Amino acid sequence: MSYNHYQLIQNFYIRWINCLIDGVIDMSLDYWIFGIIISVLVTLVITAINFTYKYGKWQGEVNTDRNTIKEFIKEIRKDKKETRKDIKETRKDIKETRKDIKEIFGRLPPLLTTSLSPIRLTELGDRISNNIDAEVWAKETAKDLIDKTKDMNSFEIQEESFKMAKNYQPTGQILKKIQNTAFQEGVKLEGIKEVLGVVLRDRLLAIHDKNKESLDS
């Protein structure tokens, strides 16, 4: 509706109201009916325009919200996809790390003794001790060390035992048995001698009735 239309309707309203105020009743019945119809139509048009404007505004806000939600969902799906990718890469890194750790431990020599106080044999150390008859060797060797170690404390006896085992040079069948065991278990000769030292220490401590758990014995 143009500005001229609004101006015409406005002038009609003003004239009609003035006529009512001045008591002018000479307008025809048709003119009165036309005025009422125009008033109703104008009211309906203004109401429709107002409704259309508000509805359009509301529809625009709804569309904006819909677009916002769509973008939000799109971002969530994107983040979910990236998260899955990160998890997959993390699992791959963990798998490679485990492989590296396994290779590192594979390069380390097997442990025959533990660092617990006092030093003692591991399960592998016990198995090697049995295979090479370490107890037999310790029993014979201890006979020559009884007098030398009778006034020593537990630590000194341990040091003497390790020294004796380190300097031990096996020969004959004993040497073959030690070499075969070292080969089968994947250890060096020094490791075998370490086992002999622990077994000899325990033998001497028992002879001197000393507690290997304490240096005060």
pLDDT bracket for residue 113 (50, 70, 90): confident
Phi, psi of 100 (to 5 degrees): -65, -45
pLDDT, position 2: 44
How is the chain split into domains, by residue range? 3-104, 113-207
H-helix or E-strand containing 110?
none
pLDDT bracket for residue 83 (50, 70, 90): confident
For 114-163, write each residue's pLDDT tens digit. 877 788 898 999 999 999 999 999 999 999 999 999 899 999 999 999 99
pTM comes to: 0.52
Is 143 or 98 the better-scoring residue by pLDDT?
143
The percent of residues above 70 in pLDDT, for the chain, comes to 60
- The CA distances from residue 211 to 47, 75, 216, in Å, are 106, 70, 8
- The CA distances from residue 50 to 45, 111, 199, 205, 216, in Å, are 8, 90, 103, 107, 103
Amino acid present at 206: A
* CA 81/CA 87 separation, integer angstroms: 10
Is 32 or 59 the better-scoring residue by pLDDT?
59
